Amino acid sequence: VALKRMLNFNVPPVKNSTGEPVWKVLIYDRFGQDIISPLLSVKELRDMGITLHLLLHSDRDAIPDVPAVYFVMPTEENIDRMCQDLRNQLYESYYLNFISAISRSKLEDIANAAIGANAVTQVAKVFDQYLNFITLEDDMFVLCNQNKELVSYRAINRPDITDTEMETIMDTIVDSLFCFFVTLGAIPIIRCSRGTAAEMVAVKLDKKLRENLRDARNSLFTGDTLGAGQFSFQRPLLVLVDRNIDLATPLHHTWTYQALVHDVLDFHLNRVNLEESAGTESTPAGARPKKKNKKSYDLTTSDKFWQKHKGSPFPEVAESVQQELESYRAQEDEVKRLKSIMGIEGEDEGAISMLSDNTAKLTSAVSSLPELLEKKRLIDLHTNVATAVLEHIKSRKLDVYFEYEEKIMSKSTLDKSLLDMISDPDAGTPEDKMRLFLIYYISSAQAPSEIDLEQYKKALMDAGCNLAPLSYIKQWKAFTKMASAPTSYGNTTAKPLGLFSRVMNTGSQFVMEGVKNLVLKQQNLPVTRILDNLMEMKSNPETDDYRYFDPKMLRGSDSSVPRNKNPFQEAIVFVVGGGNYIEYQNLIDYIKGKQGKHVLYGCSELFNATQFIKQV
């Protein structure tokens, strides 16, 4: 909503206006691009009158009779470039929007440039948008994508970090969280664990919200904020957790669709990049092997199949894709018939979607065709994505890993020794084995004896694993042992439903022989359990000493005694040090069972196990 308002020159778009939108150019930097791209498609931008969208630091030609909307971070180089645009008189008028608040001195730089270029009247509006965070789902956000190594898990947990570096990281995180609450239009009640980076974030955020509220004239939380209607009378709870409370989950192999896509494919800011396997035609000897095509697909909120199945276990997804495909095949003759009525048999599908509305009103045939073609596009997309995931599951035996890790984490009896798993040459990549071993090491109540450890190390090295992460986890474990008892992961496991028989003998796209049909039972991961305690006001040793901040209270009091005794309806969980889709899915599943409650999941960065293991 905030972005659309900004693109409409910072006035809320009128619902029923029939007129053409004002044509304009959008100029963004990489930060702005990352914020807009998961939310608005090119078509949606065009509907809002954006004819061109360009990067600030690209070579841009002057378009003298068009207004330009800028959406950039207030950095030195961005501001220099904007001043240069003013001097070169590139556009008719300038609407300057800063992703994060701009300082007084930088504003003066722009003002001086505008005076120097005689362009004061053309700078129509200057806004701080407070949008310095990236929304990936209706209930999930991540702080930044550019320069994310600055706030990464490693950056926060480096042993040799200086106080000033830590301050800078915390300020970056707090700036984004502050933007998030300005956009929500709500002041949260903050809870956090003691003695962690999360606590530093809480203290700074409390202070920043307090200062803003105290300056009543310029407070961002009064009057007509966007989210005012959303959280009407009750304030949301913000739970700040530190990644270090649970290092097993980010390494865990997973079994739900979205988390699998993120784990095994290249999935980033809601876009998945696939290498298409080159055709199976044999290449003549001596010829160059065919280059693999890279294809990218957007998995967005408008994709109904994705919305419905992203949290489903993979076998269910395969089955649903198959059903969709069959129902589409039944309609395929209809598509052919419609195409021939319209005389566009050979036409490219892209051309059809471009047909304008006027022609669409001619016949009902036309109106149902784009819908069917869109359905076909989604089926093809998910067939490709699911097939790519399945190849990984089969070649790396990910179902076996998932089931085995679930057993370790829930302390069930193991049917096969860990050593056998590690030394099995057919099961998984060296990294899969390392992840399995680290989960075992993190979850075990007593660390394995030196003799056993040597044996495991040798097996891991023979399997080609890099042992670097182990030494970090060892130190981490020794340190947390002093701090607290090991986290428990509930005591439920995945139940195999027997192998896929029913789906698979119907000539399916997906050859799933040998892949276990595992069904998940809801179990709360540590992050979800902490949220449950704090949201429902349960007393639990795990969370009883969490600090309590209320920025609206005049005097900050350092207590962990909550003033309000009622359970919360809205909560935001934010993981300092990085999050993953497994936790996100776990929270969503948890809140489904709670009538009328909402939870949002945010993290300083989103990583999969491969990216996480490199940071450890």
Q: Which domain holds residue 270?
A: 264-275+294-340+367-396
Kindly state whether residues 102 and 138 are assigned to the same domain: no
- For residue 591, tell me if it sits in a domain: yes
* pLDDT (tens digit per residue) in 481-500: 544 444 556 544 455 444 34
Q: Which two tokens stand for residue 330?
A: 């039944």
The answer to whether residue 313 sits within a structural domain is: yes
* pLDDT confidence band for 230 (50 / 70 / 90): very low
Query: In this structure, is residue 438 part of a structural domain?
Result: yes
Within this chain, do residues 268 and 392 fall inside the same structural domain, yes or no? yes
Task: Considering only residues 325 and 230, tell me which one the structure prediction assigns the higher pLDDT.
Answer: 325
Tell whether 104 and 186 lie within a shared domain.
no
pLDDT in tens, 74-115: 999 999 999 999 999 999 999 999 999 999 999 999 999 999
How many residues would you count in the chain?
616
Please indicate, yes or no, whether residues 534 and 548 belong to a single structural domain of this protein: yes
Looking at the structure, tell me whether residues 13 and 123 fall in a common domain.
yes
Alpha-carbon distance of 7 to 13, in angstroms, equals 9
CA angle, residues 211, 217, 218, in degrees to nearest 5: 60
> If you average pLDDT over residues 576-594, what whole number do you get?
93
Tally of domains in the chain = 4
Whether pLDDT at 351 is above 60: no
**Per the domain annotation, does 515 fall within a domain?**
no
List the one residue out of 604, 602, 560, 549 whose CA is nearest residue 207: 549
Last residue of a domain, one of 128, 150, 181: 128
Same domain (yes/no): 19, 115 = yes
- Cβ atoms of 173 and 197 within 8 Å: the answer is no
Partners of 603 in beta bridges: 142, 575
Query: Across 148-162, 364-378, 543-557, which has the greatest mean pLDDT?
Result: 148-162
pLDDT at 483: 46
In a domain, 505, yes or no: no
**Do residue 156 and residue 268 come from a single domain?**
no
In a domain, 287, yes or no: no
Confidence label for 292 from pLDDT (cuts 50, 70 and 90): low
Same domain, 122 and 136: no
Say whether both 52 and 138 belong to one domain.
Answer: no
Tokens representing residue 424 in the block: 């099995």
Q: Is 123 domain-assigned?
A: yes
How far is Cα 143 from Cα 130, in angstroms, rounded to an integer? Answer: 12
pLDDT score, position 96: 96
Looking at 457, 483, 509, the residue that finishes a domain is 483
Please indicate, yes or no, whether residues 19 and 111 belong to a single structural domain of this protein.
yes
Q: Last residue of some domain: 111, 128, 145?
A: 128
- pLDDT exceeds 80 at position 289: no
- Is 299 found in the same domain as 240? no
Whether residues 307 and 387 share a domain: the answer is yes
pLDDT digits (tens, 9 = 90+) for 372-416: 888 889 999 999 999 999 999 999 999 999 999 988 888 888 878
Q: Name the more confident of 283 and 142.
A: 142
CATH of the domain at 37: 3.40.50.2060
Mean pLDDT confidence for 199-203: 95
Collapse the DSSP code of 191 into the 3-class scheme (helix H, G, I; strand E, B; otherwise coil) and give the result.
strand
Residue with more model confidence, 233 or 106: 106
45 falls within a domain: yes
Percent of the chain residues past pLDDT 90, beyond the cut: 58
